Chain A
Amino acid sequence: MMQSVYPDGFRAYFDAWEARIGSFLEYDAQLLETAARQAAGSSSLSDDADVAGLPFGVKDNIAVAGMQLSCGSRLLDGFISPYSATSVTKLMGAGAVPVGKMNMDEFGMGSSTDGSAFKRTNNPWDTDRVAGGSSGGPAAAVAAGLVPFALGSDTGGSVRQPANFCGVVGLKPTYGAVSRFGLVAYASSLETVGVLADTAWRARAAFMAMRGQDELDQTSAEWPAGAPGDRRHGGCMVAPMTIGVLSEGAATLEPEVAFGFDEAKSALKAQGHRIVDIELPSLTYAVPAYYTIATAEASANLARFDGIRYGNRPQYSDNPEELVDKTRGRGFGDEVKLRILLGTFVLRSGFQDRYYLRAQRIRAGIRHDFERVLHGCDAILMPVFPTRAFGRGEDGLSPFAQKVADVFTCCANLAGLPALAFPTGVAGGLPVGVQLVGPAFGEGALLDIAEAYEATHPIARPVGYQSWWGTK
């Protein structure tokens, strides 16, 4: 339903919000205004998941030719990418326009976006709180209505958790469904490019435009014909599904989150879905296995940042080793250094068996556990994060606590399965939501469930939100 909008007001709207949330690191105001004008002028959008003419934000670890690619790091401050990521190129091919680069935790490592070397991104619902991470910029911008959708990356929950914190839809696709070419690697075997969007329908549109096998990424997969729920039903109607719900919590939930979860469960049941209790005992080992593998791969993926071929290097150094060490010492933040140290350690000969290899075995075991459960249901319903958006300083979560809280999200990355976070309500002034995990290439079914839910429970928006982009 299109709201009546004044294109001239968009610039003012954008500036006002950006001053409060700081989601962009770089943006092209011209492109944004043009897009806003076009969206205002166009009649109601067609049923065919269309992104034509829509602007989108891109997390600053996904390449857009001619724009910066800082990854939220001082080391790459000022670096302009000479090429675009395949996901970006495909969206552009479908008519969408990348309008800016978005703030993030440095190199994707964090759950708040406060790990960015440049600035903080605030939650549009309460600017004293974090936007979530590592795709906080994308989440905040979409929540504020600055763009209808944005690209993020999800390694252990980095699309879904900020989506959950900011009250927008966040999709982590099946591993390999979207090309990783152009995504600056953090943990190669775990991450995907994901979408944050104002509605489930929009998320689907963007996803369909960017998925598909890519010659430049040999881990990318051909989208299988006849994947579950791949045909859009038109939102309101969805065939009843069997949804498995975790009967025992893998972590203690904040009361508001727990309440919101139960409400969502009841609502889904009321919509006609069959709710069954399921167990995922392997989740006990998920977080340590996830961080072992992620830090190991990260330590290798970030080794290339040595200041020799690109990036910021010290003015003067005596020898190459000093050049490399100083580039990294000065360019990387503390969290990145910690993870590189851990990753280096768990791969060291003598320790590999105990840590890395064991983690990989656990990972295979977790995959097995999920497959076992998904035999009996179409999707699994889980919380996204134990708390709503947290505050800073004393009101925040310690770095360690933040990691442990990744339990609900990192398992989908370990198993390579698609997962969709969508908002289900507001509690105590902050968004609450849930997550659906499906079988490989089962995004369509998850989106169907979410779309149908949304039809009867419209997504809440923060105070001051205005819709510029039209919606079906």
Chain B
Amino acid sequence: MTASLAHLDLSDDEVAAALPAFELMLEYFAAMKAADEDADAFGVSIMDIQLSAQDSQFGNRVRLDLLNNQNNNKNSNPLSNLASELVNRAPERESNFIVIPNVL
């Protein structure tokens, strides 16, 4: 099921071939379990740690809601005006849409 979620087009043979390396890594990962009780290794019990996204060290990082051409320095944003370049890189396109076989 993991293979299908990953969308790698692995045949049954290929999955079988990848399995040993995969399982070897998972076995290796299993060593992490001991960390739950090993507070000495870290100086703190890891079970007490609250997880979240990374904290910003210097206050909230937000972008101003300004369109590219409203910024004073046009050169500062390398992303503006690239739309046509991006569409040109699409393997298949039609009237400026990007094309794929019918989704059904």
* Residue ranges of A at the interface with B (Cβ–Cβ < 8 Å): 65, 79-80, 82-84, 89, 176, 189, 215-216, 218-219, 221-222, 281-282, 284-285, 287-289, 291-292, 299, 303, 306-313, 317-326, 328-330, 332, 334, 337-338, 340-342, 344-346, 348, 354-355, 357-362, 364-366, 368-369, 372, 399-400, 403-404
Contact = CB atoms under 8 A, between A and B. Distances in A.
Contacts of A364: 46, 49, 51
B90 A340 contact: no
A307 B8 contact: no
Interface residues of B, number: 55
A285 B101 contact: no
B79 A83 contact: yes
A256 B36 CA distance: 36
Contacts of B25: 291, 338, 342, 400, 403
Contacts of B28: 287-288, 291, 400, 404
30 contacts: A82-B85, A216-B77, A216-B78, A221-B57, A281-B41, A282-B41, A282-B42, A285-B38, A289-B32, A289-B35, A291-B25, A308-B91, A309-B90, A310-B86, A311-B91, A318-B101, A320-B102, A325-B8, A326-B9, A328-B8, A329-B9, A329-B10, A337-B6, A341-B3, A341-B18, A344-B5, A358-B32, A358-B33, A358-B46, A400-B24
B42 A365 contact: yes
Contacts of A291: 25, 28-29
Interface centre among B24, B29, B36 (most CB of A within 10 A): B29
A363 B19 CA distance: 27
Interface string B58-80: 10010100000000000011110
A309 B92 CA distance: 8
A83 B82 contact: yes
A330 B28 CA distance: 28
Given A319-B101, A341-B22, A400-B24, A369 B42 contact: yes
A344 B103 contact: no
Contacts of B51: 357, 360-361, 364
B47 interface: yes
Contacts of A215: 63, 76-77
B78 A84 contact: yes
Contact of B82 (A82, A282, A360): A82
B90 to A, nearest CB: 6
Given A222-B58, A328-B8, A337-B10, A399 B41 contact: no
Contacts of A361: 35, 46-47, 49, 51
B91 A313 contact: yes
Contacts of A288: 28-29, 31-32
Nearest to B92: A313
Nearest to A302: B6
Contacts of A285: 31-32, 34-35, 38, 41
A282 B46 CA distance: 11
Contacts of A358: 32-33, 35-36, 46
A219 B56 CA distance: 7
B16 interface: no
Contact of B103 (A310, A320, A348, A360): A320
A308 B8 CA distance: 15
A41 to B, nearest CB: 30
A215 B3 CA distance: 37
B41 A369 contact: yes
Contacts of A359: 29, 32
Contacts of A326: 9
B95 interface: no
Contact of A332 (B8, B46, B57, B91): B8
Nearest to B99: A308
A189 B54 contact: yes
Given A83-B79, A345-B2, A358-B32, A400 B21 contact: yes
A312 B91 CA distance: 7
A285 B32 CA distance: 6
Contact of B32 (A292, A313, A321): A292
Nearest to B75: A89
